Structure 1
Amino acid sequence: MTPLLTTTDLCKAFGGLRAVDHVDFSVAPGEVRAVIGPNGAGKTTFVSLVCGRIAPTSGTIVFDGRDITAMPAHERVRAGIAYTFQITSVFPNLTAFDNVALPVQRTLADGRGSGRLRDGVMAALSRTGLAARAGTPAGALSYGHQRLLEVAMGLALKPRLLILDEPTQGLSDGEIDSFVGLVREIARDATVLLIEHNMPVVMALADRITVLDAGKVLAEGTPDEIRANAQVQAAYLGTEAA
């Protein structure tokens, strides 16, 4: 199967620090791929390169057969890449409905159609369990609900690749269980790239896991392979994946 996303020899240096160090990486269509690693491993820098928030020092990024290495972030969104931030980026003074309406408008060919707009917004809010909070200002939502709102904003773009950066941060145990079900549902229609510290979530969701350490790929494999990898145990997992 032709990969949906491929990076080749991808590097990002900040002065003398190489945050992403010659990373070769590929994700198949429909896959749920987790990227894990200790703090400072380069995970967020890597996905920031993929979505176009920062430019690589060297290397290439190919999405759906197209070289997007120099493509601006907004064009990558149009191409089908959506990214939720590690720190919430909702508009606190707008309602949950209006936050989601902004990306929905980008998916409407003519930019009009109030019925289609409302349907698109409510569908995204319903999938994330926020339909009852459509009229609530985003700033009045709990942190966990703000995280889910950002996922709804990403879903509203109807992406082919949805990148979720620490999505369960701030969620209650019940919300995490619902989130796991949501990602499984999303994966029916889209490819998911998940950056996550919650190992039970990673092990429950990921088809394959890539482990980064000091900007390099330390290991890659199925959840069972990663759980049993001695290098990964020493560098990161310890007892977390038990």
Structure 2
Amino acid sequence: MTPLLTTRDLRKNYGGLRAVDGVDFTLLPGEIHAIIGPNGAGKTTFVSLVCGRVMPSSGTIIFDGDDITDLPAYRRVRQGIAYTFQITSVFAHLSAYDNVALPMQRTLTDGRSRAKLHAGVMNALERTGLAGRANSLAGTLSYGHQRLLEVAMGLALKPRLLILDEPTQGLSDGEIAGFMDLVREIAQDATVLLIEHNMQVVMGLADRITVMNAGRILAEGTPADIRANDEVQRAYLGTEPA
């Protein structure tokens, strides 16, 4: 299968700090791929390089066969990469509906799209469980609902690759279960790259897992592979190998 995303020797340096240090990474179309690792491992910096929020010090990023290494973030959005932030970035003084409508407008190409816009916005809100809060100001939503609103905003872009950075932070147990169902549904039409600390979510969702530590890839494989990896157990899962 031809990869949807490939990085080659990808690096990001901040002075003497190597936040991302020579990462070779492959993402297959249609998979749910999780990136895990301790705080400071380079996970968010890595996905920021992929979506164009940060430019690399060196290395190459290939998306669907095209070199996007030097493309700005908005050009990558047009190519089908959507990213939800680790810290919520909704427009607090706009309604949930309007927050979704803003990115949705980018996907519409004709002037007779009012009905299509409304249908698309409500579909994204319904999928994330927020249809009943469409008219609520985003700033009045709970933190967990703001996280879900960001996912709805990402879905509005109709991405081929949806990057989710700590999406379950602030969600209740019931909301997490619903979120996992949503990600499985999204993966029927798009590829999902997920940064997540909740290991039950990771092990329950991911087809493959990449473990990062100190800016490098420590291990990669299926959930079963990662559970059985001695280095991962020591560096991240906090257990000693049997």
Distance in 2 separating the partners of 1:81 and 1:220: 23
Local SS of the residue matching 1:39: coil
What are the within-5 Å matches in structure 2 for residues 211-226 of structure 1?
211-226=211-226
The answer for the alignment partner of 1:29 in structure 2 is: 29
Quote how far apart the aligned CAs of 1:19 are. 0.3
Q: Deviations over 1:175-234 (max 9, x none)?
A: 000000000000000000000000000000000000000000000000000011000000
Q: Where does structure 2 lack aligned partners over 5 or more consecutive residues?
A: none
Kindly report structure 1 stretches of 4+ aligned residues shifted beyond 3 Å. none
Local SS of the residue matching 2:154: helix
Local SS of the residue matching 2:158: coil
Q: How high is the TM-score relative to the length of structure 1?
A: 0.98
Local SS of the residue matching 1:234: helix
The answer for the alignment partner of 1:52 in structure 2 is: 52
The answer for the alignment partner of 1:157 in structure 2 is: 157
The answer for the alignment partner of 1:78 in structure 2 is: 78
Distance in 1 separating the partners of 2:131 and 2:184: 20
Q: How high is the TM-score relative to the length of structure 2?
A: 0.98
What are the within-5 Å matches in structure 2 for residues 134-145 of structure 1?
134-145=134-145
Quote how far apart the aligned CAs of 1:114 are. 1.2
The answer for the alignment partner of 1:5 in structure 2 is: 5
The answer for the alignment partner of 2:238 in structure 1 is: 238
Distance in 1 separating the partners of 2:192 and 2:117: 25
Task: Please report the RMSD computed on the Cα atoms of aligned residues, expressed in angstroms.
Answer: 0.7
Local SS of the residue matching 2:76: helix
Distance in 1 separating the partners of 2:204 and 2:219: 18
The answer for the alignment partner of 1:126 in structure 2 is: 126
Distance in 1 separating the partners of 2:130 and 2:84: 17
One-letter code of the match for 2:116?
R
Q: Where does structure 1 lack aligned partners over 5 or more consecutive residues?
A: none
Quote how far apart the aligned CAs of 1:113 are. 1.8
Local SS of the residue matching 1:219: strand
8 Å contact from structure 1 (residues 105, 111) kept in 2? no
8 Å contact from structure 1 (residues 10, 23) kept in 2? yes
Local SS of the residue matching 2:129: coil
Quote how far apart the aligned CAs of 1:122 are. 0.1
Local SS of the residue matching 2:145: helix
The answer for the alignment partner of 1:197 in structure 2 is: 197
Distance in 2 separating the partners of 1:238 and 1:41: 15
Distance in 1 separating the partners of 2:217 and 2:165: 18
Local SS of the residue matching 1:211: strand
109-118 or 201-210, larger mean C-alpha shift? 109-118
Local SS of the residue matching 2:110: coil
One-letter code of the match for 2:181?
G
Q: Deviations over 1:50-69 (max 9, x none)?
A: 00001000000000000000
Do the aligned partners of residues 111 and 230 (structure 1) sit closer, same or farther apart at CA in structure 2, a change above 3 Å counting? Answer: farther
Distance in 2 separating the partners of 1:210 and 1:118: 38
Quote how far apart the aligned CAs of 1:110 are. 2.1
